[in-house]
Amino acid sequence: MRAVPRAAGRAVAVDVYCDDGAFTLAESRAILAAAKAAGLGVRAHAGQFADLGAAGLVADLGGLSADHLEQVSDEEAHKMARAGVVATLLPGACVQLRCPAPPVERLRRAGCAFALGTDMNPGSSMTESLPLQMWLACAHLGLTVEEAWLAVTRVAARAAGRPAAGRLVAGAPADLVVWNVEEPATVPYHYGVNHASAVIVAGARA
């Protein structure tokens, strides 16, 4: 755990992989408790293959997000919702590894907010495409179009520990994408096509 405080100032959060064959729940608790004591954000890869209680641990520690969540109990889902922990779904990894889909309806009933990520992992989800994840989330996991857009903007910013981002409001970071579509549903529906017409980074066209 000595390395965790040394990351403060260079990192914003510590993510631990708690699952069968990875860190145990006790090991994860020690690592994340050290992160919180060092003033770092807390998150976990939780319940991808087995529910060891990592999602509930993140909630107990007031963490940012629990990711994957193919295996998560009702109790943990409610703990996450009460603590404001974002449920980050990684549909590319879920589909490629042929894992059961995360229990979206269970998480939704509990009141969890969804974020989406690519996982960008050569072993399970080799893609940088968030629009592809939006399609998978809507077509395979059952998210609505509105949930999918929030999951890659406002809620994703919360999960990243950057709550000022992800919104088009005065004072927010001027990072945005202009889409060449008639309606929001086109991006997750018409997949495999680049619908972006402009990318703005810090107020300047990239």
Each of the 206 residues of the chain gets a pLDDT tens digit; together they read: 677 877 788 899 999 999 999 999 999 999 999 999 999 999 999 999 999 999 999 999 999 999 999 999 999 999 999 999 999 999 999 999 999 999 999 999 999 999 999 999 999 999 999 999 999 999 999 999 999 999 999 999 999 999 989 999 998 889 999 999 999 999 999 999 999 999 999 999 99
Residue 98 lies in a domain: yes
Range of the domain at 15: 3-166
Residue 59 lies in a domain: yes
Q: How many domains does the chain have?
A: 1
Q: Which long-range contacts (CB under 8 A, 24 or more apart) does 157-160 make?
A: 158/64, 158/65, 158/84, 158/86, 158/113, 158/115, 159/43, 159/64, 159/65, 159/86, 159/88, 159/115, 160/64
Residue 194 lies in a domain: no
Write the CATH number for 77.
3.20.20.140
- By the 8 A CB rule, do 94 and 101 touch? yes
Closest alpha carbon to 42 in 72, 71, 18, 73: 18
Residue 112 lies in a domain: yes
pTM: 0.95
Tokens (6 digits) for 64:
């940012």
